[in-house]
Chains A and B, each alone.
Chain A
Amino acid sequence: MSSMETSNLTGRTFRKMFAEGKRFDGRGLNDFRAIEVTYNVSNKAEGSARVKVGKTDVAVGIKLEIGTPYPDSPDKGNIMVSGDLLPIASPRFETGPPKFNAIELPRLVDRAIRESGMLDLHKLVITPGEKVWTVIIDVYPLNDDGNLVDVATLAAVAALKTAKLPALKENGKIDYHAKPTGPLPLSSETYPITLTFYKLGESIFLDPTREEEEACDSRVALGLSKWNGKYMINSCQKGGETPFTKAELEKMMDLLPGKFDEINERLKKFL
């Protein structure tokens, strides 16, 4: 049964219930499920975390490598987000070349983190113009019950917070056995999150289960952070073919600051 897609009947039921502000699990349309953060998934990674939101579960590991800077930014380190939708996480995921969702997920996490400025790339330079740190963020969903992008961003940010810069040997290679030299150069302000709004019929809602997500018409993923005390949207991507109206977008904009604060508040107990 687990591999069945959301049926049209369920989709119609969702449509009707959402219009009345109701959900199968009793949540309000903009409520997140329970959030749980654990750290140190792998002690071989420079930082790692696993975030569960309801039954959705994403593991993220940070690996640091010594790389060369891009020619157009000799004074900056690099960020790279990769990952895959492995068949361990869902009967819907298959082995083989990455499908579009597997390409899009790390790209959305990348933009939310990169554009928020949480990671100070200027401080990741080892030798200007020659050697810099490349921060590699690998995102692996372990169980997909919807809303992977938001959960993956939470896990990536949590993993970055715990990541340590490894020591270097005299020959310039990484010394995995020496004590790390310190944390990554992170901004001390609040950390970015992604909020993805989903649309079904006239209803807009957050944090869908897989069943709810599959019934949806379209969605818009918004990367959000605080910068100099102001709420900032750092990234945005609409997905799916149904358009969003201006009124719908304005409604989302009004919800963002409160939701951002609420989620950051809920994350505090895991610090």
Chain B
Amino acid sequence: MAEFKRPSGRGMTEIRKMSAKVGVIPNADGSAMFSFGDTIAIAAVYGPRLLHPQHMQDPSTAILRVNYDLLSFSVYERKKPGPSRRSQEISKVTEWALLPVLDLKEFPNTVIDVQVYILQADAGTRTAGINAASLALAHAGIPMKNLVTSISVGKQDKNIVVDLDKDEEDYEEGEGATDFPIAKVANSDEYTLLQLDGKIEPSEVKKALTIADEACEKVYEVQKRALKEVVEQ
């Protein structure tokens, strides 16, 4: 195959510059920022706190409630404020991505609210949001088996690449662009988020997951460093 160069000039498995910071919202019980290049997500955790209305309470466990959205000015064409079908879906899949690592049984009748907002969007907002939310939950001291790490693998034409930016997502040559965001329990083979738009052969999925695994290890390192910083302070 002819040498393929990413329009961004990055290597095929090169993630954009990541940064993470824990404790960005003083009012919250836990909070964090996570960024992939120009995509910046912030997450705040409130709770466990008593859930109202009372009939929604579950005496056997806390419930997790995630709200994800783009801030109106995070994209070129202003995003109308308020929940959209897209944001409601991402909120739900983020909830599913995080739940497997949480131990919520210790907090009956309560809710843990996770608020995720995107300040600046350049693709990969749900993966950045999950990484931030995972850090915020850890920062809030919620019992967790592990962190959740998230990255988007994808394809440009036939080439598997990691962490597509918006320009790369709009790629139209050959097979076009495929976005394959995943999340997993760190250092495991358990996938907690799987979404996909585009074209990938069933036989290529294994390779894509292996590439995602390696990228997730790097995400995990950035997350751990951010948590250590706050512990050392």
Give A contacts to B, CB under 8 Å.
Answer: 71-72, 100, 103-104, 107, 111, 115, 218, 220, 227, 230-247, 249-250, 253-254, 256-257
CA distance A100 to B184 in the complex (A): 23
A230 touches B77 (CB 8 A): no
B201 with A230: CB separation less than 8 A: yes
Contact A243/B85 with A238-B194, A238-B195, A257-B202 known, Cβ cut-off 8 Å: no
Majority-rule SS of B interface residues: mixed
Query: Looking at the complex, which of B10-18, B93-101, B115-123, B218-226 is the stretch in contact with chain A?
Result: B93-101
Find out whether the CB atom of A236 lies under 8 angstroms from the CB atom of B194: yes
How distant is the Cα of A115 from the Cα of B184 in the complex, in angstroms? Answer: 25
Check A111–B197 contact: CB distance below 8 A: yes
B-side contacts of A71, CB under 8 Å: 77
**Is A231 touching B201 in the complex (CB atoms < 8 A)?**
yes
Q: Is B187 an interface residue (CB 8 A)?
A: no
Interface residues of B (CB under 8 A from A): 77, 85, 88-89, 92-93, 95-96, 99-100, 170, 175, 180, 184-185, 189-203, 205-206, 209
- Are A104 and B189 in contact, CB atoms less than 8 angstroms apart? no
Write 21 A-B pairs (CB below 8 A) sorted by A numbering: A71-B77, A72-B170, A100-B88, A103-B85, A103-B89, A104-B89, A227-B199, A233-B201, A234-B197, A235-B196, A236-B180, A236-B194, A237-B195, A238-B96, A238-B193, A238-B194, A241-B100, A243-B100, A245-B190, A249-B205, A250-B206
Return chain A residues, CB-CB under 8 Å to B195.
Answer: 236-238
Q: In the complex, are the beta carbons of B200 and A233 less than 8 A apart?
A: yes
Q: Which residues of chain A have C-beta atoms less than 8 A from B209's C-beta?
A: 246, 249
Task: Report how far A120 CA is from B42 CA in the complex, Å.
Answer: 39
Residues of A within 8 A of B99 (CB): 241
Residues of B within 8 A of A244 (CB): 190-191, 194
User: From residue A110, how far is it (CB to closest CB) to chain B in Å?
Assistant: 10
Name the CB-closest residue of B to A103: B85
Interchain pairs with CB closer than 8 A, number: 93
Q: Label chain A's interface by main secondary structure.
A: mixed
- How far is A243 from B203 in the complex, measured between Cα atoms in Å? 21
Q: Is the CB of B89 within 8 A of A107?
A: yes
- Distance A169 CA – B153 CA, assembled complex (angstroms): 47
Known: A103-B85, A233-B205, A239-B96. A115 touches B200 (CB 8 A): no
Query: In the bound complex, how far is the Cα of B175 from the Cα of A230, in angstroms?
Result: 12
Report the bound CA distance from A257 to B206 in whole Å: 15
A240-B96 contact given A245-B191, A247-B189, CB 8 Å threshold:
yes
CB distance from A191 to the nearest CB of B (A): 15
Query: Given A233-B205, A256-B202, A242 and B196 touching (CB < 8 A)?
Result: no
Chain A residues closer than 8 Å to B203, beta-carbon distance = 253
A232's nearest neighbour on chain B, judged by CB, is B199
Q: Which residues of A contact B77 (CB under 8 A)?
A: 71
Having A235-B196, A236-B180, A245-B189, one finds 13 other A-B pairs with CB under 8 Å, namely: A103-B88, A218-B96, A230-B201, A231-B201, A231-B202, A232-B200, A238-B194, A238-B195, A241-B95, A241-B96, A243-B184, A246-B191, A253-B206
B94 CB to closest chain A CB (Å) equals 11
Q: Which of A72, A238, A247 has the most CB of B within 10 A?
A: A238
Q: How far is the CA of A249 from the CA of B182 in the complex (A)?
A: 13
B75 to chain A, nearest CB (A): 12
* B202–A254 touching, CB < 8 Å: yes
- Cα–Cα, bound, A120→B185 (Å): 39
Q: Nearest Cβ in chain A — how far from B187, in angstroms?
A: 13
Q: CB distance A253 to B191 under 8 Å?
A: no
Cβ–Cβ < 8 Å partners of A238 in chain B: 93, 96, 191-195
